[in-house]
Amino acid sequence: MTAAYDRDPLETAALEHLWLHSNDLEWNELTHGGLRVFVEGRGATLTDVRGGTYLDGLSGLFVVAAGHGRTEIADAMAAQAKKIAYTAASNAANPAAITLAEKISSLTPGDLDRVFLCSGGSEAVESAMKIAKQVQVMRGFGKRYKIIARRGSYHGTTFGAASLTGSADERYFGPFMAGVSKVPSPNHYRNVFGLTGEAGDIMCARFVEQEILTQGPEHVAAVIGEPISVANGTHLPGPVYWRMLREICDRYGVLLIMDEVITGWGRTGTWFAAEHYGVVPDLMTMAKGLSSGYAPIAAVAARSSLFDDFRPDGRALNHLITFGGHAVAAAAALKNIEILERENLVERSAEMGTYLFELAQRLREHPTVGDVRGGQGLLCAIDFVKDKSTKQAWGTSHPFIKFLALRTQEEGLVTRVWDVLHLAPPFVLTREEAERAIEIVDRCLTEAEHKFADEIA
């Protein structure tokens, strides 16, 4: 047990001055299970300021696809910074940004050939939303301002993106942006309609159509959704769902936005999750794995037909990001993509994702594991319940969940534990590391079940 006076100076400074998302680090600081100050990373392993090593079970935050410690990415960034680091995105460009846009257009499905660069996932969602609204206006549909999103979704934390996010807390920031409505999201474990598999997916898609009709097609600009909703518990819809959404949007002149901020760049075992469903959206957002976190960068890929609407009289997109197309960030992304291609890491994500998912199946034997989801690339989710028959969740603030989150980290696995434990390690994960991750979850879950046995059905 580590007392407060044993803190490293960096830990003390962080606790006193750095404003992190979590503000409950003190409650577990005495067991040194909360705040971690990481000073080095190699592959899928992180080292903290005290010399402790951990398996990065979440790729930072679904970010570090190519793994930690890629010196060639750092070298590419340094080389670019020596030439030129910044050009204004309003009326200038640089070779790195141009080459990156060309590369993105070559890898995205269909005719997603026009690329708007920005700094992060939330900005990408804001940008896609604004592009969709301006396109509708330019097409003569000035009343099309509404956006249909999905319950339980996550699209970011800036105001517009948060307005689309199903879990956003309106107590602090409401009222959110007008014109947003939310519909059920595919969920094969707890489907709101009481249906299973494809039948549930079809009903969710039909609900989108009904919402378009309820709002009035003349008022709806776009529908947005993550191909696989990670924030909602990593639920994988069948292809019928996305194909129906594509047909529904086309029928009513509504644009389809796929948010691939998490799922893009190989996370699901293909370059983009849209490929699993055979669907080309009108707009696709991306970030995280685009640079594997070596630099803040994101993008929106748009179909050529959308950009063509701006051509007739040279109309500008009424939107700009100061750091969009930052040359150093673009250089990082280009080198990252080169590594993903050269080392076949997208294929490795598919292979190791299958192996991790197979290993995780043994966790179903636990009385508190209601479901194990994944199997498409390195995305895996373990759904915890008090009662398997009722599928009753613990709640993210329950001591069972907090204990499990603390113990897995103490045992050397960095991950995220809510009602669902997420596993999304870097693509360079080895089979031995995958086995270690599941062993840690298995062992810590057994401890938690013993500690809270009286509350388990």
Q: What is the pLDDT of residues 371-384, one digit of tens each?
A: 999 999 999 999 99
Say what the pLDDT of residue 3 is: 42
Could you say which DSSP state residue 316 is in?
Answer: P
SS (H, E, C) 291-314: CCCCCCCEEEEECHHHHHCCCCCC
Q: Count of alpha carbons within 13 Å of 12, Cβ hemisphere only?
A: 7
Q: 255-259 and 45-48 as β-strands: parallel, antiparallel, unpaired?
A: unpaired
* 3-class secondary structure, 61: helix
Could you say which DSSP state residue 396 is in?
Answer: T
Listed residue (284, 283, 282) closest to 271, CA to CA: 284
Listed residue (34, 37, 63) closest to 48, CA to CA: 37
Q: What is the pLDDT of residues 233-247, one digit of tens each?
A: 999 999 999 999 999
Could you say which DSSP state residue 231 is in?
Answer: T
Distance CA 289, CA 427 (A): 10
Distance CA 43, CA 66 (A): 8
Distance CA 94, CA 257 (A): 28
Distance CA 188, CA 447 (A): 29
Say what the pLDDT of residue 311 is: 83
Listed residue (69, 9, 52, 5) closest to 293, CA to CA: 69
Domain residue ranges in the chain: 36-66+344-455, 71-342
C-alpha radius of gyration, the chain, whole number:
22
For every residue of 423-442, DSSP letters joined together read E---TT--HHHHHHHHHHHH
Q: For the domain 36-66+344-455, what is the CATH code?
A: 3.90.1150.10
Q: How many CB atoms lie within 10 A of CB 287?
A: 29
Domain 71-342 has CATH 3.40.47.10: no
Say what the pLDDT of residue 413 is: 97
Say what the pLDDT of residue 27 is: 42
Which regions of the chain are under pLDDT 70?
Answer: 1-5, 23-34
Say what the pLDDT of residue 312 is: 75
